[in-house]
Amino acid sequence: MRFQQKAYAGYDDDPQFGMSQEAKLIRDAWAFGLLPEEEKCVGWTAPQFEKLWEQVDAIWEKVNFRVANLPPEVQERYLRLQMAALEKARAAGWDPNGILEDDD
């Protein structure tokens, strides 16, 4: 996974309204209990995100990368976090067709 090289502004100040690769990773980590939801990763750098991505990816791999295979409580938390992020991003003007990642 490729993460920005400069320090991350933090989940609440995500430059893509919470839809960047970093923000998506943070939500997964929250859902999986790897980070408390209060942790917004302000000032994190690429190596920190890479380490977190390895942990998150290992969990996804165990469930064949399927939300339906997550334990019910994790699935509920994951879906709640995703829906809240989508609502917040849309309210802020995010257009899913208008923002592409660097490697898209």
Per-residue model confidence as pLDDT tens digits over 50-99? 999 999 999 999 999 999 999 999 999 999 999 999 999 999 988 888 65
Helix (H) or strand (E) holding 76: helix 72-91
Average pLDDT over all residues of the chain: 92
Domain with 36, as residue range(s), is 11-91
Mean pLDDT of 22-35: 98
Q: Could you tell me if residue 43 is left (phi over 0), alpha (psi between -120 and 50 degrees) or otherwise beta?
A: left
Q: Is residue 80 part of a domain?
A: yes
For residue 86, is it within any domain?
Answer: yes
Q: How many domains does the chain have?
A: 1
Is residue 57 in a domain?
yes
| 103 within domain boundaries | no
